C-alpha cells in the first residue's frame, strides 16, 4: 500500500509483486482457475461474468483469469487473538457509497474489492494480452468487463448450452421466479445497453436472449468515466442491479509496471475520502480518541470473500472463511498520514541566487509544515518545523546541476520533478 502521489494524501494504491500474488492464490503451479469448477452451478458461474470474453455463448471459459479480493482491517484488530475476520465489523468500509445504501447486500459488498487478474502471463509470457499499463487504461478495461458481465447475466436468464463436468447440457441459470422476486427487468437491462451504444450481434437462434458484443465505443467508455454523466448513471444503476442480485462485488481491473525482472501489479486505487479510513491522529470530535496508527491490507481469493460465500447448495454462509491467523495470509501494514506541505525559505550567498561551476556558494533552507486542527485535519496554513516538532529532525538533500540532468540520472524510474 502506498500513496498514489506524494502530493496528495487522499488516494492510496494497493500493489503486489505478480509472482508472489500467483503463488499466494495457488495459481503459480496451476494457472487454470476453473479446474474442478462446475460452471453449470450458478454460484460458481456468476463470478465468471465479465471474464469470459465478448461472447456469452462461447465454449471458451477463459480459465486464465481469476478473481482476487482485498480488504482493510485495523492492525489492532488484526493482531487481536479474539478477532478472526469472521464479523462484518472487523473490516473497514472501502465504499461509503455502498455502505449508505438500504440494500443489506450492497452494505456487505462495501467491505471488499474484487480484481480480475490474469494467471498465465507469468508462465507463458507475451502470448497473452498484457495488462493495462496505467490506471486510466485499467478503468477503461474495467468498464468493458462490467458491460460484458451485464450481457453475460442477461444470457443466463434464458436456456442455453453450458459445458459441465458431464458434457454440454441445456440449462437456464436464473429462473423467471428468481428475477421477479428480485424485481429485475431483463428488458430494462437490454435497453440500457442499447442506450450505452453497445453493439450486440443478433443471432438467428431465437432462443438466445442476447448475443455477442462486437463493439463498445470509446465515446461510451469516456462518457461512463465522467462522474454524474447520463451514461455513468445508467452504467452504475445496471451494476447495482446485477451485483446486488448476484451478491458479489463488481469487477475492477489491475494495471502493471515492469521493474527489472519483476512485474508489480497494481490492484486498485482507494479514495480515502470514500472510506472509513482515518488519517493518523485524526479525531471525529475533540473528545474522541485519535485514529489508529496502522491498518493491514489483506489479499484473499474467491473462497474467502467476506459475507458473500455460499455452500455447494447455494445457501448463504453468514460467516466468511478467511482467518487472520492463517500463516500464509498475504497482508501488509500501512498508515494513512496527512499530506505534508513543504515550504523552503532558502537564501544563497551567490549573486541573484545563481551559483556557477567553480564558485563557492552557501545555501541554507528551513522546513515548514502544514498545521493541523484539534481533530488532526490539515488547516492549509504552514509553520516552522521546529515550532511544530521541537524534538524533531530532518535532512535536506541538495543537487547542484540542471533539472534535466537530475531527472535523467538520479530520480527513480527517471521521472521528472513535479510541483506539489
Q: What is the pLDDT of residues 326-374, one digit of tens each?
A: 777 888 887 776 654 444 455 555 544 555 544 555 566 777 887 776 6
* CA atoms of 369 and 380, how far apart (whole Å): 10
Percent of the chain past pLDDT 70, that is, above it, reads 69
The stretch 8-25 carries a mean pLDDT of 76
The stretch 398-418 carries a mean pLDDT of 55
The reply to whether 240 and 155 lie within a common domain is: yes
Q: What are phi and psi of 46, to 5 degrees?
A: -65, -30
- pLDDT tens-digit readout, 63-82: 888 888 888 888 888 888 88
- Give the residue, 194 or 301, on which the prediction is more confident: 194
The reply to whether 59 and 105 lie within a common domain is: yes
Q: What is the pLDDT of residue 1?
A: 53
Q: Does a structural domain hold residue 145?
A: yes
Of 297, 314, 334, which residue sits at a domain end?
Answer: 334
* CA atoms of 51 and 314, how far apart (whole Å): 21
* Banded pLDDT at 187 (limits 50, 70, 90): very high
Q: In a 3-state reduction of DSSP, which class is residue 403?
A: helix
Residue ranges of E strands in 103-181: 113-118, 160-164, 167-171
* CA atoms of 382 and 368, how far apart (whole Å): 6
Q: In a 3-state reduction of DSSP, which class is residue 71?
A: strand
* CA atoms of 363 and 354, how far apart (whole Å): 11
Q: Give how many domains the chain has, as a whole number.
A: 2
- Give the residue, 381 or 9, on which the prediction is more confident: 381
What's the alpha-carbon Rg for the chain, to the nearest Å? 25
Q: Other CB atoms closer than 10 Å to residue 276's CB: what's the count?
A: 16
Number of H helices, E strands in the chain: 13, 20
The reply to whether 290 and 381 lie within a common domain is: no
* CA atoms of 39 and 51, how far apart (whole Å): 13
pTM equals: 0.74
Q: Does a structural domain hold residue 371?
A: yes
Q: Does a structural domain hold residue 26?
A: yes
The reply to whether 231 and 356 lie within a common domain is: no
Residue 359: give the domain boundaries. Answer: 343-414
DSSP summary character for residue 46: G
In this structure, what C-alpha cell is assigned to residue 39?
A: 460452471
Long-range contacts of 232-236 (CB under 8 A, 24+ apart): 234/192, 234/195, 234/196, 235/143, 235/146, 235/147, 235/196
Q: Does a structural domain hold residue 419?
A: no
Q: Does a structural domain hold residue 420?
A: no
Q: What is the pLDDT of residue 92?
A: 86
**Bridge partners of residue 269, in order along the sequence:** 13
Of 334, 358, 379, which residue sits at a domain end?
Answer: 334
* CA atoms of 133 and 291, how far apart (whole Å): 35
The reply to whether 249 and 352 lie within a common domain is: no
- Check: CB of residue 324 under 8 Å from CB of residue 363: no
The stretch 372-393 carries a mean pLDDT of 75
Residue 225 clears pLDDT 70, i.e. is over it = yes
Q: What is the pLDDT of residue 131?
A: 80
Of 284, 311, 334, which residue sits at a domain end?
Answer: 334
Computed over every residue of the chain, the mean pLDDT equals 77
Residue 319 clears pLDDT 50, i.e. is over it = no
State the greatest distance between any 2 C-alpha atoms of the chain, in Å, as a whole number: 85
The reply to whether 97 and 195 lie within a common domain is: yes
- pLDDT tens-digit readout, 130-159: 688 888 999 999 999 999 999 999 999 999
Long-range contacts of 98-101 (CB under 8 A, 24+ apart): 99/276, 101/240
* CA atoms of 94 and 91, how far apart (whole Å): 9
Residue 125 clears pLDDT 70, i.e. is over it = no
Q: What is the pLDDT of residue 385?
A: 82
**Helix-strand-coil split of the chain, %, nearest 5:** 30, 20, 50
Q: What is the pLDDT of residue 195?
A: 98
**Cβ contacts of 214 within 8 Å, gap of 6 or more:** 54, 199, 200, 201
Q: Does a structural domain hold residue 54?
A: yes
Q: What is the pLDDT of residue 224?
A: 97
Residue 173 clears pLDDT 90, i.e. is over it = yes
* Banded pLDDT at 110 (limits 50, 70, 90): confident
In this structure, what C-alpha cell is assigned to residue 25?
A: 492464490
- Give the residue, 232 or 17, on which the prediction is more confident: 232
* Banded pLDDT at 26 (limits 50, 70, 90): confident
Residue 263 clears pLDDT 80, i.e. is over it = no
Residue 397 clears pLDDT 70, i.e. is over it = no
The reply to whether 314 and 353 lie within a common domain is: no
The reply to whether 181 and 124 lie within a common domain is: yes
The reply to whether 296 and 357 lie within a common domain is: no
The reply to whether 176 and 315 lie within a common domain is: yes
Q: What is the pLDDT of residue 419?
A: 36
Q: Where are the alpha helices (DSSP H) in 26-67?
A: 42-45
Amino acid at each position: 500500500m502506498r500513496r498514489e502521489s506524494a502530493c496528495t494524501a487522499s488516494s492510496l494504491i494497493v500493489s503486489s509483486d505478480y509472482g508472489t500474488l500467483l503463488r499466494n492464490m495457488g495459481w503459480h503451479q496451476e494457472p487454470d482457475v476453473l479446474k474442478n469448477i462446475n460452471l453449470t452451478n450458478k454460484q460458481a458461474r456468476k463470478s465468471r461474468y465479465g471474464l469470459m470474453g465478448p461472447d456469452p455463448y462461447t465454449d471458451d471459459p477463459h480459465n486464465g483469469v481469476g478473481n482476487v479480493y482485498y480488504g482493510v482491517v485495523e492492525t489492532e484488530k488484526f493482531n487481536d487473538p479474539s478477532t478472526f475476520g469472521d464479523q462484518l465489523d472487523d473490516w473497514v468500509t472501502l465504499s461509503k457509497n455502498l455502505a449508505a445504501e438500504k440494500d443489506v447486500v450492497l452494505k456487505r459488498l462495501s467491505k471488499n474489492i474484487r480484481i480480475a487478474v490474469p494467471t498465465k502471463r507469468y508462465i507463458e509470457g507475451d502470448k497473452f494480452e498484457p495488462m493495462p499499463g496505467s490506471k486510466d487504461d485499467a478503468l477503461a478495461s474495467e468498464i468493458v468487463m462490467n458491460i460484458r458481465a451485464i450481457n453475460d447475466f442477461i444470457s443466463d436468464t434464458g436456456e442455453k448450452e453450458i459445458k459441465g463436468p458431464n458434457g454440454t447440457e441445456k440449462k437456464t441459470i436464473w429462473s423467471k421466479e428468481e428475477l421477479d422476486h428480485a424485481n429485475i427487468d431483463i428488458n430494462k437491462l437490454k435497453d440500457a445497453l442499447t442506450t450505452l451504444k453497445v453493439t450486440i450481434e443478433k443471432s438467428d437462434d431465437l432462443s438466445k436472449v442476447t448475443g455477442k458484443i462486437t463493439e463498445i465505443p470509446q465515446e461510451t467508455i469516456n462518457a461512463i468515466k465522467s462522474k454524474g454523466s447520463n451514461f455513468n448513471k445508467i452504467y452504475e444503476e445496471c451494476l447495482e442491479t446485477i451485483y446486488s442480485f448476484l451478491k458479489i462485488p463488481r469487477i475492477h481491473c489491475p494495471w502493471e509496471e515492469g521493474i527489472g525482472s519483476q512485474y508489480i501489479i497494481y490492484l486498485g486505487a482507494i479514495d480515502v475520502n470514500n472510506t472509513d479510513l482515518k488519517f493518523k491522529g485524526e479525531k471525529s470530535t475533540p473528545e474522541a480518541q485519535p485514529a489508529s496508527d496502522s491498518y493491514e491490507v489483506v489479499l484473499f481469493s474467491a473462497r474467502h470473500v467476506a459475507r458473500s460465500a455460499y455452500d455447494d447448495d447455494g445457501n448463504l454462509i453468514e460467516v466468511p472463511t478467511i482467518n487472520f491467523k492463517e500463516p500464509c495470509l498475504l497482508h501488509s501494514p500501512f498508515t494513512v498520514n496527512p499530506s505534508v506541505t513543504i515550504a523552503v525559505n532558502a537564501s544563497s550567498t551567490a549573486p541573484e541566487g545563481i551559483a556557477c561551476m567553480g564558485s563557492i556558494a552557501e545555501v541554507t533552507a528551513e522546513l515548514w509544515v502544514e498545521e493541523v486542527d484539534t481533530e488532526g485535519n490539515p488547516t492549509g496554513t504552514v509553520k516552522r518545523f521546529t515550532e511544530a516538532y521541537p524534538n524533531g529532525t530532518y535532512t535536506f538533500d541538495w543537487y547542484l546541476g540542471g533539472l534535466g540532468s537530475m531527472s535523467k540520472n538520479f530520480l527513480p524510474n527517471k521521472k521528472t520533478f513535479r510541483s506539489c
